[in-house]
């Protein structure tokens, strides 16, 4: 098998908006030697998990989806997306891998892309998500609202993931190993915050007013439910809107996320 490149084509100005009757090719298809492909920054870290089943699939039916790569230099490409597929191809005994050439993303864009992709497909472990969100906030100066909008998640999800970093190292490991449920982990964080601030522990605090029964803009989770419904786009546009805010499914998801039980 030889290396194949389909030359990139583009319109006169790549940054010019396309007309309705106009198309543009913005990437190139490649078949690359595995030795030329190196891992790029990855939210999961260097351990991409067990890929034995994926390797068997590649052995039997071939690679179904190309990886995304950026060119670093002569015979050297960095993975943008597809670390598991590369490892599986190597395990399957393949010498080459199908890839699509893309412009190398900024560290911020790479993190946003990985989070958005995996929170809507196979999620990362909660602590890995939390660390990536922390980097977006403190290194790339994104607000919590900006992060939520860009990865398509409610503000409450971002808030709760970041809260997990207040757990000690052993507790964080227990969350990743699923020995400590997310709801219980977030409960510990809330109890410690209350103790630090001299407030009653959440379990002993006065119950919240039952505004949850009235799905209106006055509900404390209205913004999260609305944002979740908007992120779903056309699929939720024609559903019955409760209180003029969001559909019932998005209300339910927002409430579960706020309780720390939804992923």
pLDDT of residue 236: 62
The answer to whether the CB of 70 falls within 8 A of the CB of 104 is yes
Mean pLDDT value across residues 31-53: 80
pLDDT of residue 171: 92
* Pairing mode of beta strands 37-38, 4-5: unpaired
**Does the CA dihedral 72-77-82-83 come out positive or negative?**
negative
pLDDT of residue 116: 66
- The enclosing H or E element of 12 equals none
Q: What is the pLDDT of residues 231-241, one digit of tens each?
A: 877 656 555 56
Whether 213 has a pLDDT exceeding 60, the answer reads: no
- The enclosing H or E element of 32 equals strand 28-33
Judged on CB neighbours under 10 Å (0-12, 13-18, 19+), 133 is buried
Q: What is the pLDDT of residues 161-210, one digit of tens each?
A: 999 999 999 999 898 888 888 888 888 998 888 888 888 766 544 444 44
Whether 114 has a pLDDT exceeding 90, the answer reads: no
pLDDT of residue 73: 87
| Band of pLDDT at residue 215, cut at 50, 70 and 90 | low
> Which two structure tokens, joined as six digits, stand for 71?
């060119």
pLDDT of residue 26: 67
Per-domain residue ranges for the chain? 4-10+25-104, 106-205, 214-263
Q: Note the CATH number of domain 106-205.
A: 1.10.10.2830
| Band of pLDDT at residue 263, cut at 50, 70 and 90 | very low
Q: What pTM did the predictor assign?
A: 0.41
pLDDT of residue 21: 79
Q: What is the pLDDT of residues 66-87, one digit of tens each?
A: 988 888 888 999 888 888 889 9
Q: Note the CATH number of domain 4-10+25-104.
A: 3.90.1530.10
Lowest mean pLDDT, pick from 37-46, 71-80, 211-220: 211-220
């Amino acid at each position: 098998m030889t290396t194949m490149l389909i030359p990139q084509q583009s319109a006169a100005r790549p940054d010019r908006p396309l007309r309705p009757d106009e198309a543009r090719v913005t990437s190139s298809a490649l078949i690359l030697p595995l030795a030329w492909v190196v891992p790029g920054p990855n939210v999961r870290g260097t351990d991409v998990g067990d890929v034995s089943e994926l390797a068997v699939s590649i052995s039997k039916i071939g690679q179904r989806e190309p990886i995304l790569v950026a060119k670093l230099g002569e015979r050297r490409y960095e993975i943008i997306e597809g670390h598991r597929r590369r490892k599986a191809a190597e395990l399957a005994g393949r010498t080459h891998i199908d890839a699509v050439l893309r412009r190398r993303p900024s560290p911020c864009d790479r993190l946003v892309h990985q989070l958005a992709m995996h929170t809507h497909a196979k999620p990362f472990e909660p602590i890995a998500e939390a660390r990536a969100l922390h980097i977006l906030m403190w290194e790339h100066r994104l607000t919590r609202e900006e992060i939520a909008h860009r990865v398509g998640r409610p503000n409450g999800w971002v808030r709760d993931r970041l809260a997990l970093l207040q757990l000690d190292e052993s507790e964080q490991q227990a969350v990743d190993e699923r020995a400590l449920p997310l709801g219980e982990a977030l409960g510990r964080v809330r109890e410690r915050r209350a103790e630090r601030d001299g407030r009653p522990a959440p379990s002993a605090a006065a119950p919240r007013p039952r505004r949850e029964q009235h799905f209106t803009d006055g509900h404390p989770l209205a913004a999260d439910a609305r944002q979740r419904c908007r992120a779903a786009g056309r699929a939720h546009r024609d559903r019955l809107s409760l209180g003029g805010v969001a559909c019932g499914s998005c209300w339910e998801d927002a409430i579960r996320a706020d309780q720390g039980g939804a992923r």
